[in-house]
């Protein structure tokens, strides 16, 4: 089952993971953008930025069960130990750390304008986030909860990903249409690769060998070869492809079409479109889950 956040409709589109067709709509708070599964696993949070709340949705009933006040929860994640929630506040200039159980704010860290996308390495204790309007990526030490690096990058950085061994950081920047590569031993820029116009978000396969990068302004997605640090393939996805996510078996890539009010599902073996279907206005985050028994 897929949840797709319709940021300008204040709704979530529900789609069937087998038929690849929408089957329902949920009304949520104002301007939903991303999702995250709860620590307990039986529900998902819809992150609604301009109503400053997360709405917890029960995965069995598909009904909202709780509203959690929290400032601008544009994008969130939990640390592996379940103690803290990290949140980027897109309308502001900071990352906030919350208690994962009570959602009480623990700390605020100034990072830059329009913080948006992130990568988390629990093993290394790094939380890395892009600041789209400051053209920097910042690295937070999750153990000390302090900012330890500011990395200048190409304009409008968005998607970030860390290799499985955390030796390399990858950043997609829309202003230059690039993927830049940093070696994390000294946080030095080592390579710049052209992906496509308005390169935006990325999703990495579990084996760390491929990153799918959305190129919103040219209706394409790039398949970035991680070991060779090059674009190995590029394929058409309509509607201004924005947020990608992979099915549990990684056989299908789901992508929201931010400018076309659609979502598209691609076969990752053939790179062919399996289906494109309508959503609400300005679809953004996509969350996939197995239907509870």
pLDDT digits (tens, 9 = 90+) for 86-99: 999 999 999 999 99
The predicted pLDDT at position 290 comes to 84
Q: Nearest-5° angle of CA 53, CA 158, CA 260?
A: 75
Strands 32-37 and 22-27: unpaired
Give the containing element (helix H, strand E) for 53.
strand 53-58
Residue 270 CA to residue 105 CA, distance in Å, equals 45
Question: Is 82's pLDDT higher than 90?
Answer: yes
CB 160 within 8 A of CB 170: yes
Average pLDDT over residues 125-143: 97
The predicted pLDDT at position 158 comes to 98
pLDDT grade for 15, boundaries at 50, 70 and 90: very high
pLDDT grade for 100, boundaries at 50, 70 and 90: very high
Strands 220-225 and 210-215: antiparallel
- In the three-class reduction of DSSP (H, G, I as helix; E, B as strand; rest coil), residue 195 is classed as coil
The predicted pLDDT at position 56 comes to 98
Average pLDDT of the chain to the nearest whole number? 97
Query: pTM value?
Result: 0.96
Residue 241 CA to residue 254 CA, distance in Å, equals 10
For the stretch 223-255, pLDDT in tens is 999 999 999 999 999 999 999 999 999 999 999
Measure CA of the first residue to CA of the last residue in the chain; give whole Å: 13
For the stretch 158-167, pLDDT in tens is 999 999 999 9
pLDDT grade for 291, boundaries at 50, 70 and 90: confident
- In the three-class reduction of DSSP (H, G, I as helix; E, B as strand; rest coil), residue 125 is classed as coil
């Amino acid at each position: 089952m897929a949840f797709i956040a319709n940021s300008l409709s204040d709704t979530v589109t529900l789609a069937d993971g087998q038929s690849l067709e929408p089957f329902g709509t949920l009304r949520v708070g104002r301007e939903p953008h991303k999702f995250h599964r709860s620590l307990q696993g039986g529900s998902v949070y819809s992150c609604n930025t301009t109503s400053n709340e997360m709405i917890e949705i029960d995965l069995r009933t598909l009904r909202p069960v709780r509203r959690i006040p929290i400032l601008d929860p544009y994008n969130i994640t939990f640390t592996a130990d379940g103690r803290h929630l990290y949140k980027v506040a897109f309308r502001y200039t900071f990352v906030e750390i919350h208690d994962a159980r009570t959602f009480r704010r623990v700390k605020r860290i100034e990072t830059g304008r329009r913080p948006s996308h992130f990568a988390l390495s629990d093993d290394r204790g790094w939380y890395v986030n892009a600041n789209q309007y400051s053209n920097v990526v910042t690295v937070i030490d999750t153990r000390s909860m302090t900012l330890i690096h500011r990395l200048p990058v190409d304009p409008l950085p968005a998607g970030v990903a860390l290799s499985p061994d955390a030796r390399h950081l990858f950043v997609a920047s829309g202003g230059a249409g690039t993927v830049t590569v940093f070696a994390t031993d000294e946080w030095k820029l080592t390579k710049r690769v052209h992906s496509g116009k308005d390169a935006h978000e990325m999703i990495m396969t579990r084996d760390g060998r491929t990153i799918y990068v959305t190129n919103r302004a040219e209706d394409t997605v790039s398949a970035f070869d991680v070991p060779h640090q090059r674009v190995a393939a590029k394929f058409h996805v309509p509607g201004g492809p924005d947020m990608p996510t992979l099915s549990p078996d990684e056989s299908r890539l789901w992508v929201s079409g931010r400018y076309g009010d659609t979502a598209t599902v691609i076969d990752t073996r053939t790179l062919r479109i399996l289906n494109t279907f309508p959503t609400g206005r300005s679809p953004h985050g996509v969350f996939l889950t197995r239907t509870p028994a």
